[in-house]
Structure 1
Amino acid sequence: MTTERTTERWPTELRLAKDRRSLRVAFDDGAAFDLPAEYLRVTSPSAEVQGHAPSERKTVPGKKDVEIIGVEPVGNYAVKLVFDDLHDTGIYGWGYLYELGAGYGQKWQAYLDELSAKGLLREKVR
């Protein structure tokens, strides 16, 4: 797992999709990523999800239909995303967003594998 969270990457575009289900992030090196809301929610850098140590990290189920309802700047180094489940405590730095985009395939598969191993679902249990 990469822990690079560099501020050397600078965003040139940050756009929430009309359906609020993805966030487009483009960077000054030409890289661009369309990050699904579910992926952003389950990889939130918040202590609620990541814990205060690797052993405390949580696998978050039931977020398949989550939407982003707010994108708020945090200084000039990050954004705070607000989700429709009212989760809003993660600060997504530019380096972390880049890391999420560049590692999407591997990180998403690891999440799906964790859900399966724990008997959890992407769908919200009603």
Structure 2
Amino acid sequence: MTDAWPEEIGVDRAERTLTVAFDTGEQFVLPAEYLRVHSPSAEVQGHSAAEKKTVAGKRGVGISDLEPVGNYAVRILFDDGHTTGIFTWQYLLDLGRRQGELMAAYEADLASKGLSR
């Protein structure tokens, strides 16, 4: 666990990205597709590791809005209607730090199932 705190968070709708800058000096530009397929919602994650869903066909998804959730998270509203993911600051930090690894695993999972982005 970390005490990293976001100093800046913003959406670039044209680029379909979320930029988050943390007080650790780290800054991440996270594609909407990446965030959507790794949403922490039960719809995507299930209620156990065995229930985790592979979400395909989200290459063109965008972010329509952000809603603060207390002082610990943000709800990302996607333009495909997905609105149930609450992204904690820690989860966004982890997604940023592991973006290459997680995106490669996602693409391999899609390929193994004959699905596309």
- Relative to the length of structure 1, the TM-score reads 0.90
Cα distance in 2 between the residues matched to 1:39 and 1:67: 10
1:71–1:82 Cα contact (<8 Å) kept: yes
1:78–1:91 Cα contact (<8 Å) kept: yes
**For each residue in 1:45-90, what CA deviation from the matched residue of structure 2 results, as whole angstroms up to 9, or x when unmatched?**
0000000000000000000000000100000000000001110001
Return 5+ residue gaps in structure 1 as ranges: 1-5
Runs of 4+ in 1 over 3 A off after TM superposition: none
Q: How many angstroms does 1:32 deviate by?
A: 0.3
Cα distance in 2 between the residues matched to 1:87 and 1:114: 21
Q: How many angstroms does 1:18 deviate by?
A: 3.8
Return 5+ residue gaps in structure 2 as ranges: none
Q: How many angstroms does 1:115 deviate by?
A: 0.2
1:20–1:68 Cα contact (<8 Å) kept: no
Bigger mean CA offset, 42-51 vs 20-29 = 20-29
- The alignment partner of 1:62 has SS state of coil
Verify: 1:34 aligned to 2:29, yes or no: yes
Cα distance in 1 between the residues matched to 2:55 and 2:94: 19
Counterpart of 1:50 (choices 41, 45, 50) is 45
Give aligned pairs, total. 117
- Relative to the length of structure 2, the TM-score reads 0.97
Alignment correspondent of 1:82: 77
Larger RCO, structures 1/2 (Cα 8 Å, 6+ apart): 1
Alignment correspondent of 1:24: 19
Q: How many angstroms does 1:7 deviate by?
A: 5.5
